[in-house]
Amino acid sequence: METLSSVYLKCGVSWPKNFPSNAKQGQKSGSGSHSGRQQHAHGKPPLYYAIKTRQTSTQGSLQTPHSAPQLHSAMEDVRATSAWVASRSSHVLVDSAGIEKVVSTIESIPKVEWDFEGIHYFDNGPLTVQYLFVLDALNFCFWPDKDLNYDDLASGLKAALQNDKSAFDADRLQKYTGPQLRELLRWPRPLPLEDERVRLLHEVGSELERNFEGKASNLVQCCGKSAVNLVALVARHFPGFRDHTVYKGRQVFLYKRAQIFAADLWGAFGGQGYGEFKDIGSLTIMADYIVPAVLRQLGVLKYSPTLASTIESSGEIGPGTEEEVELRACSVHAVEKMRELISKKSGRQVLSVELDLWLWAAGVQCTSLQHHRTLSIYY
């Protein structure tokens, strides 16, 4: 079992001084740092880009497969069904002893602040909300193109909006073609899952126009300052965000990109205005490629020999397969258990969003970390 600091050391980079570490000696200083382009190959949101951290001491009923989520139960369903998968998993094991060992090394956790000078558009108003919703609609599956990263998407959309404030108007979103999207992003070749990206843009534009007067800000205002309600509303109205599947005969909910939208708003607006949510602590981690790989490195997750071989040989894992569902759901469940233990240790509420950031930050600095490969519109 490795600590988070040893994950950094193994990758040839120094443990960030603002992150918890129990390995004070032998750290390399500043070697092997990576550019933003490398760090965002796995589709993390603006909340995770160019983060500044503050320290806080730690001392001291399921729906049928095609139904929309109920407002009161969206995040309850994510937690309950992830736990259900973890209790029946055939390929991924959540190691309770590994969780306890990791938590015992944690001295403090980072707080998240938005980067206002980076690659993201921000005007502190409704246009930022529209930008974030379009961004999170397209924020998935970059890995098939080794040169394409999250940075290209975020900065490309920012530039497009700066050049034309109407670029993301609902009627415009419904008309984009693949080549036009590439031109918008200034990308020289077809995007991974390009047809799906175009379809999702059309869906966003159509549904915003039909129910929210074309504005994502109106969607946000309908949630009553509840992140849970926002996740449920997004998944209810926009099928492309409806991140759920069936595992061993039971429906499993993850809602990664819908949760990211809520988390991005919270981060961008500093928990105020469009980002004010009374229940931000209800969000789980955003189950992706990086977090499972880091949890495995830490000894929190253990893989079957067959799954480990597939990942280590860069083989693809099909969307909706037992292996893929277990990787994501077991990650959610494991981090929820970590959060509970850390909260008990610290005597304060710890956000899953904070832990997601923390684990992901370790992973993106390690370009040799082997993650699973799945073609999916959900992450």
Write the pLDDT tens digit of every residue in 193-242. Answer: 999 999 999 999 999 999 999 999 999 999 999 999 999 999 999 999 99
Residues tagged active-site? 288
Lowest-confidence region among 102-116, 126-140, 161-175: 102-116
Domain ranges of the chain: 4-19+35-119+225-364
Beta-bridge partners for 247: 250
Write the pLDDT tens digit of every residue in 306-353. Answer: 999 999 999 999 999 999 999 999 999 999 999 999 999 988 889 999
pLDDT confidence of residue 360: 82
Flag whether pLDDT at 27 surpasses 90: no
Give the mean pLDDT of the chain: 85
Write the pLDDT tens digit of every residue in 174-191. Answer: 999 999 999 999 999 999
pLDDT confidence of residue 49: 35
Tokens of 351: 């956000």
Residue 143 and residue 135 in contact, taking contact as beta carbons nearer than 8 Å:
no
pLDDT confidence of residue 13: 40
* Amino acid present at 299: G
Phi/psi at 246 (5° precision): -115, 130
Lowest-confidence region among 27-31, 278-282, 315-319, 368-372: 27-31
Q: How confident is the model at residue 284 (pLDDT cuts 50, 70, 90)?
A: very high
pLDDT confidence of residue 365: 81
Lowest-confidence region among 49-63, 145-159, 246-260, 264-278: 49-63
Residue 174 and residue 199 in contact, taking contact as beta carbons nearer than 8 Å:
no
The CA-CA-CA angle for residues 241, 246, 247, to 5°, reads 130
Q: Rounded to two decimals, what is the model's pTM?
A: 0.83
pLDDT confidence of residue 150: 86
Q: CA 65 to CA 252: how far, in whole Å?
A: 9
Flag whether pLDDT at 79 surpasses 60: yes
